[in-house]
Amino acid sequence: MASLSLPTVESIREQFPILQHPDSHGRDVVYLDNGASTQKPQCVIDKEVEVYTKYYANAYRGVYEFGQRIDDELELSRESVRDLIGAESKEEIIFTAGTTMSLNLLAYAWGSHVLEPGDEIILSRMEHHANIVPWQLIAQKTGATIRYVPLDDQYRFDEQAFEQILNSRTKIVSLTGMSNVLGATIPVSQVAEAAHSVGAVFILDAAQSVLHQPADVMKQGVDFLAFSGHKIYGPSGVGVLYGKQELLEQMPPFLGGGHMIDQVFDDHSTWAAAPAKFEAGTLPIAQAIALRPAIEFIKEIDFDWIEKHEKKLLIRATEQLQEIPGLKIYGPDVSEKGAIVSFTLEGAHPQDLAFLLNRHGVCVRHGHHCAMPLHEILGVSATVRASFGLYNTVEEVDKLTEAIHQARKKLRLA
């Protein structure tokens, strides 16, 4: 899969048109909000344009040439997702609007299918709201209870505590593969095995992790997996839900509409087979098709290279930031986390800091990052987050550090 010669970050950056020009204030853009969404390489942009200008039609409906081409392209994209996550067949790949939609689908459809009063759903303390709120809604409806796996004192997923919480009432274990705040990861195979040992299904929220540690669902025993196109250099508006064939067969549909039915009668309907059963209505056609070049782009660069490159940035950022007086980083040691640094700076409100960093072109995010229960235990209501992508450079890390120094001066902290 890997290209023969190793890529350079310069050659990668060239492929992102948005990185080729300063912002409207003439500043070089240092985009460090990759955890929220990533920029798009030319090949992804081109693919959406190709669809719209060469053979656009609705999907799975027309026998005419454009319709057939769209169907073929969608199936190729499904296949590239299958390959990315190591699923058995492309019929296990469902296109959705995003991770949030995928997780809601699971909560509503699988949740109502299996949960009874007193049953338990296990999440962790570091989940994104997308992997909390849908479960709360379904727990309220079904009488199930949510239990949270704590973090240890180094902000790591506490595997021992997890195994103690697991019990025969556990029906669902749904965990993030990587915290979008801490960068902390989980031991996927072990967690899956433990979940299965009590008869629970294991759901992986791979929104942050799929790009860094591509899952291997069959080997790792992942039952369901969700991720978003826009976080892996793909288009906005499309996401993926993977489900094991036999589970997809058991799971009732969630959204009703065109394409997901077999027959519609006055008072009830019968369902098509997966993936159609879970793809009600018109798909995000151009977006689902343009997910493939994003996946191919990443594979071409090679996951090892990405991992090494991002780790280098993470280490440099961590070393520099730790030197700044009053700056506190939240998360495990760099050796045990993804390329995310969340921090607070004493005397500086995260909102002010994020604004002031942007005065130097540095784009970082501030707030609770859709992880309020985590911030509850961090003991702060908001943090500033720098998250790195494959196009970020060592110089950009230095600019982040320099911008923080400048902000401290501005805020009269230095």
Ligand X SMILES: Cc1ncc(COP(=O)(O)O)c(C=O)c1O
Q: Which residues bind ligand X (CB under 6 A)?
A: 98-100, 128, 130-131, 176, 180, 205, 207-208, 228, 258, 281-282, 370
Distance of CA 298 to the CA centre of its chain: 15
| Residues 320-359, interacting with a second copy (CB under 8 A) | 351, 354-355, 357-358
Residue 363 among the catalytic residues: no
Q: Using alpha carbons only, how large is the chain's radius of gyration in Å? A: 22
Single out the residue of 6, 49, 308, 355 in contact with another protein (rule: CB under 8 A).
355
Of residues 412, 394, 409, 349, the one with CA closest to residue 30:
394
Please, are residues 228 and 236 in contact by the beta-carbon 8 Å criterion? no
Least separation in angstroms between residue 337's CB and ligand X is: 13
Least separation in angstroms between residue 207's CB and ligand X is: 4
Residue with tokens 């995010």: 365
130 binds a second copy (CB under 8 A): yes
Least separation in angstroms between residue 281's CB and ligand X is: 3
4 binds another protein (CB under 8 A): no
- From the candidates 370, 377, 411, 414, which is the catalytic residue? 370
Distance of CA 190 to the CA centre of its chain: 21
C-alpha torsion sign, points 356, 361, 362, 364? positive
d(CA 70, CA 291): 14
Q: Which stretch binds a second copy (CB under 8 A): 2-10, 214-222, 274-282, 310-318?
A: 274-282
412 binds another protein (CB under 8 A): yes
Of residues 305, 281, 233, 187, the one with CA closest to residue 18:
233
Report the run of H or E that residue 372 belongs to, with start and end: helix 372-378
Please, are residues 329 and 318 in contact by the beta-carbon 8 Å criterion? yes
282 binds another protein (CB under 8 A): no
Contacts of 73 (CB under 8 A, 6+ apart): 51, 55, 289, 292
d(CA 78, CA 83): 9
Least separation in angstroms between residue 210's CB and a second copy is: 15
Report the run of H or E that residue 204 belongs to, with start and end: strand 201-205
63 binds another protein (CB under 8 A): yes
Q: Which stretch binds another protein (CB under 8 A): 43-51, 156-164, 294-302, 345-353?
A: 345-353
| Residues 361-390, interacting with a second copy (CB under 8 A) | 362-367, 370, 372-373
Residue 208 binds which one of ligand X, a second copy, another protein, none, with CB within 5 to 8 A depending on kind?
ligand X
Residue 269 binds which one of ligand X, a second copy, another protein, none, with CB within 5 to 8 A depending on kind?
a second copy
Distance of CA 146 to the CA centre of its chain: 22
Least separation in angstroms between residue 262's CB and another protein is: 9
Give the DSSP letter string of 177-193: SB-TTT-BB--HHHHHH
d(CA 385, CA 387): 6
| Residues 21-50, interacting with another protein (CB under 8 A) | 25
116 binds a second copy (CB under 8 A): no
366 pairs with which residues across the strands?
Answer: 384
359 binds another protein (CB under 8 A): yes
Least separation in angstroms between residue 263's CB and a second copy is: 6
Catalytic machinery residues: 370
Binding site for another protein (CB under 8 A): 25, 60, 63, 65, 68, 71-72, 276, 349, 351-352, 355-356, 358-359, 367, 382, 410-412
